[in-house]
Structure 1
Amino acid sequence: MSQTHTRFDRLPVVDVSGLFSDDPDQRLATARELDRAARDAGFFYVTGHQVSRAQQAALIEQAKQFFAAPDDWKMRYYIGKSTAHRGYVPEGEEVFAGGKRDRKEGFDTGRELPPDDPDVQAGTPMLGPNMWPEQPGFREAVGGYYEAAFALGRALFRGFSLALGLPETHFDRYLQKPPSQLRLLHYPFDASAGDRPGIGAHTDYECFTILLPTAPGLEVMNGEGEWIDAPPVDNAFVVNIGDMLEVWTGGTYVATSHRVRKVKEERYSFPLFFACDYHTVVAPLPQFATAEAAEKYPPVSAGDHLFAQTAQSFTYLKQRLERGELVLPEGSKGLASFGQQARYAGTEQDVV
């Protein structure tokens, strides 16, 4: 298996406008740029993405209004009341590897599915209706942004298909109704920037992530285990490889470990975790299926992996596990089992 990730000191920038071109040569050229960024860093900025500034601004404004509301009102929409892991996430609800509680609050949404959807009726985790707060314009702004960012995700997946030598629409079959979550995250002003991290070191569980941040704080681990700043770039998204693309590529693309450092500045962050359909079985593609890759990356259900990781990091789900109301899928991995952080486990770089 080839060594991936360089000792980069800044994230590459990829103009993805070519993915929307009618010219197949232009789409292929852009795909090669994506491939280089994915192999070298696993984390990069994308410009030319076709998500309007107005859609971004409306999302941010609605998030600011929601998080400024009283805690008891926000808790009316507590995620633990949801049937599909949607709603308000209070500070301290999430605990990543290492056991530290996060210094943030959030609101989780996904693709709206009706109660009579067969997968919803079957009780498939992470699928179902959203929990919408009674805040004028919230559903329209958040839903509109979700659709625009999801369209970008489809285009990126087609770019990755070309980059990996596959037919351009190879992954489309796995994107019928994926549990792709859009999270609205708020890191409050912290004059002391105390002992807790904004969000602990981790990889993302899905295929890749499309992130809109409003302030500095994000750090990315490079190929030498060093933490590199990834500040916001105007009208650019941050995209990073997740666990499932690491599996599909047999480790050629690595799910890059990242964290949010302790900063005083108030910060908002909006990741769309782009997943494949829940029941997709992911294993190294034929061109990456070496003996080493096959041993390291046995087939995994994308949805089961997402659910297992989520259940191990959200307090309300951990409590249900302890009470025996939930059971982790067979073969579930522990937290922080992918990415550069796993390679450097036990070293000082993991301290957050």
Structure 2
Amino acid sequence: MAKPGNFTSLPVIDISPLFGDDPDARARVVADLGRTAREIGFLYVTGHGMAPGLFDDLLATAKDFFARPLDEKMQVYIGKSSNHRGYVPTGEEVIYGGVPDQKEAYDLSIDLPADDPDYLAGNPMLGPNQWPALPGFREKVGAYYDGVMSVGRVLLRGFAEALGQDPSLFDSYVTKPPSQLRLVHYPYNEKAPGNALGISPHTDMEVFTLLRVTAPGLEVMNGAGEWIDVPPLDNAFVVNLGDMMEAWTNGEFIATSHRVRKVREERYSFPLFFSVDYHTEVAPLPMFVTGDKPARKPVVAGEHLFQVTAQGFVYLQKRIAEGRLVLPDNASNLHQFGQHARHEAEALAPAR
């Protein structure tokens, strides 16, 4: 795995040339994306072309929803869903260390009809959303989802070029992806335990993430194991690479570990986890496999996503305990990618 540098801030890359027809400008952006993906795995993206009003509407809608009484929000509780959609109350998600994350969320993805064959077959990440009965919620949140997914498809082609490949390299894997949008509310709570993070250290399970936030709190781990602050930048996405991009590149591109510290003010966060189709087998591309760097074991994208998700949500843990849900013995662990995996591998390696 490439080792991330000891960076202290993130680069800002204007991706507007990816939407244009200037080959020289596009080449410069592609080179910047490749260098950042190899050395950091985190960046700010500007020039994305999304209308600011889409984010403004999303934020206003999220504030309205999270301000509602708990019993109203629980009408769309994620535990009522068979495909992981809906409201996530505070304490429902426990990613690492056994301390519940100090946040609430609403999760949605590609909104498929109830007669979708994957949903009818019991796919745990595909199907219809649970929509709150709030006027305009579905329309405004759905419009933002469509907009950010369009940006993600363009960015995916830029990363393909950054690997020296045709921009269409990954296109065929993005036909019905379970790309999840989360509306996340971090309430300020001065009485929260000192070790209670907004969200615990992790890598994202998908290809990459496009994030908009309203306040500081996000931190990313550099190569020295230090936590670096990632403050919001006006009208910019924070983009970080996920597990599937690291798997495809055999560690050439980095899935960088990150967390949200105990927040110092109320904070809203909107990550779009850009995924590939559920049944996609993600194996290292041949150009990244050498005698010194053997191929990692292939990963089925959707299975990895669901197996890690199931280990972090209380309602899914209950289903496992009751025998209603069974994970394979070799289920994906929470830290097989990113710096956690690298540090563990270094600790186990024989001394030289």
Q: Is the 8 A contact 1:182 1:272 kept in 2?
A: yes
For 1:92, what is the secondary structure of its paired residue? coil
For 2:240, what is the secondary structure of its paired residue? strand
CA distance in 1, matches of 2:24, 2:278: 33
Q: Which amino acid aligns with 1:152?
A: V
How has the CA–CA distance of structure 1 residues 298 and 345 changed in structure 2, closer, same or farther, with 3 Å as cutoff?
closer
Q: Is the 8 A contact 2:39 2:254 kept in 1?
A: no
How has the CA–CA distance of structure 1 residues 77 and 292 changed in structure 2, closer, same or farther, with 3 Å as cutoff?
farther
| 1:193 Cα deviation from its structure 2 partner | 5.1
For 1:120, what is the secondary structure of its paired residue? helix
- Whether 1:214 aligns to 2:201 is no
TM-score, normalised by the number of residues in structure 1: 0.95
| Alignment correspondent of 1:141 | 140
Q: Which amino acid aligns with 1:212?
A: R
| Alignment correspondent of 2:254 | 254
- Whether 1:265 aligns to 2:284 is no
Where do 1:106-255 residues align within 5 Å?
106-192=105-191, 194-195=193-194, 196-255=196-255
Higher mean Cα deviation, 182-191 or 23-32?
23-32
| Alignment correspondent of 1:290 | 290
CA distance in 1, matches of 2:271, 2:81: 20
Deviations 1:92-133 (A, max 9, x none): 100112111100000001001112222222211200000110
CA distance in 2, matches of 1:191, 1:97: 21
Q: Is the 8 A contact 2:210 2:240 kept in 1?
A: yes
For 1:97, what is the secondary structure of its paired residue? coil
For 1:273, what is the secondary structure of its paired residue? strand
How has the CA–CA distance of structure 1 residues 12 and 122 changed in structure 2, closer, same or farther, with 3 Å as cutoff?
same
CA distance in 2, matches of 1:229, 1:307: 29
Q: How many residues align?
A: 345
CA distance in 1, matches of 2:112, 2:23: 34
Q: Is the 8 A contact 2:16 2:46 kept in 1?
A: yes
Q: Which amino acid aligns with 2:22?
A: D
Q: Is the 8 A contact 1:28 1:159 kept in 2?
A: no
| 1:24 Cα deviation from its structure 2 partner | 3.6
Deviations 1:227-275 (A, max 9, x none): 0000000110100010000000110111100000112200000000000
For 1:170, what is the secondary structure of its paired residue? coil
CA distance in 1, matches of 2:3, 2:345: 21
TM-score, normalised by the number of residues in structure 2: 0.95
For 1:344, what is the secondary structure of its paired residue? helix
| Alignment correspondent of 1:324 | 323
Alignment RMSD (CA, Å): 1.6
| Alignment correspondent of 2:349 | none
Q: Is the 8 A contact 1:221 1:341 kept in 2?
A: no
CA distance in 2, matches of 1:266, 1:339: 28
For 1:107, what is the secondary structure of its paired residue? strand
How has the CA–CA distance of structure 1 residues 291 and 298 changed in structure 2, closer, same or farther, with 3 Å as cutoff?
farther
Q: Which amino acid aligns with 1:273?
A: F
| 1:292 Cα deviation from its structure 2 partner | 5.2
CA distance in 1, matches of 2:105, 2:41: 25
CA distance in 2, matches of 1:84, 1:312: 15
| Alignment correspondent of 2:67 | 68
- Whether 1:34 aligns to 2:33 is yes
Deviations 1:21-46 (A, max 9, x none): 12344323211111111112100000
Q: Is the 8 A contact 2:126 2:178 kept in 1?
A: yes
| Alignment correspondent of 1:303 | 302
Deviations 1:33-66 (A, max 9, x none): 1111111210000000111110000000000000
Q: Is the 8 A contact 1:192 1:264 kept in 2?
A: no
Q: Which amino acid aligns with 2:217?
A: G
CA distance in 1, matches of 2:310, 2:89: 16
Q: Which amino acid aligns with 2:122?
A: G
| 1:337 Cα deviation from its structure 2 partner | 1.9
CA distance in 2, matches of 1:293, 1:71: 51
For 2:25, what is the secondary structure of its paired residue? helix
Q: Is the 8 A contact 2:249 2:285 kept in 1?
A: yes
Deviations 1:268-318 (A, max 9, x none): 0000000000000001101112245445x2011000000000000011011
CA distance in 1, matches of 2:154, 2:53: 20
CA distance in 1, matches of 2:123, 2:53: 34
Higher mean Cα deviation, 333-342 or 146-155?
333-342
- Whether 1:277 aligns to 2:277 is yes
CA distance in 2, matches of 1:214, 1:234: 9
| Alignment correspondent of 1:350 | none
Q: Is the 8 A contact 1:225 1:341 kept in 2?
A: no
Q: Is the 8 A contact 1:284 1:294 kept in 2?
A: no
Deviations 1:303-337 (A, max 9, x none): 00000000000110111111111121453221122
| 1:194 Cα deviation from its structure 2 partner | 3.2
CA distance in 1, matches of 2:281, 2:42: 24
For 1:131, what is the secondary structure of its paired residue? coil
For 2:209, what is the secondary structure of its paired residue? strand
Q: Is the 8 A contact 2:206 2:276 kept in 1?
A: yes
